[in-house]
Amino acid sequence: MSVLTLLFLSACARDVGPFQPGPWGNDETTEDTAVPVFDGLLWADEFDGPAGTSPDPSKWTYDIGGHGWGNEQLEHNTDRTDNVRLSGDGVLEIVALEESYQSNAYTSGRIKTEGLFTFDYGRIEARIKVPAGSGLWPAFWMLGEDFSTIGWPDCGEIDILEARGSQPGVVHGTVHGPGYSGGSGIGSSAYGADFTADFHVYGLTKAPGRLIWDVDGVPYFELTPEFLPPESGGWVFDKNFFLILNLAVGGNFLEPPNASTPFPSMVEVDYVRVYGEQ
């Protein structure tokens, strides 16, 4: 099995979140929780450009293929503008289509900054509208830059946003690493109104020994090394990571698409921004 087939083995994560505050969770508050502030813009894509064109090749490259990605996904990811394109109004569109394509019944897109941009500590955020529909699995996530040399899960994976299209009122944040990957990933969830109805800002603050997830600036999950299982291979997140955006169809994180699933469906991304210390 190639290393690429191991990229996105996410299932139901083990929930150890110390808090789920504010409008997205329960009645706990994080007013006294100090979140590190990073305010120097290190990297960004506002997705400006003519309608129907590809995203900036100096910032993004593609994962291409239809072998299931180690997760029994049903789509073939392509670099066609049918699947990954700019709207012309400052939005990236990753589009899932129901079509026969190289032995797959669906196509979609998956773009990444591997080899082009990585960062160690800072705040990363993206303003995203996720789609509704059974079998649709949008994600905004990261892998350690040493993925190509040591593989998954030892490189570490940080899922800033995952959603199931059939569950519009919940989004998820999860990590995977040595001894806590796949169905044993560690994460928590944010609950609220219909996340598929509009854009929301999904953010992660990455500091030494600390990861904090938020929606629209409201934290809902914090992870530090003491929450890792004692038998694990340890904390693998204090290093550089690259960014990934994709829309999967089916897979072992959710149910397959059905007759009610709308095609085409798309993830819409208004911007991606990374802040750090300059």
Q: Indicate which residues carry an active-site annotation.
A: 157, 162
Dihedral angle sign, alpha carbons of residues 147, 187, 64, 88 = negative
Give the type of residue at 240. N
CA distances from 52 to 49, 84, 245 (A): 9, 9, 18
Three-state SS for 10-54 is ECCCEECCCCCCHHHCCCCCCCCCCCCCCCEEEEEECCCCCCCCC
Measured distance CA(212)–CA(64) in Å, rounded: 31
Question: Among 110, 5, 113, 17, which Cα is nearest to 57's?
Answer: 113
Which residues have a Cβ under 8 Å from the Cβ of 227 and sit 6 or more positions away?
A: 16, 18, 186
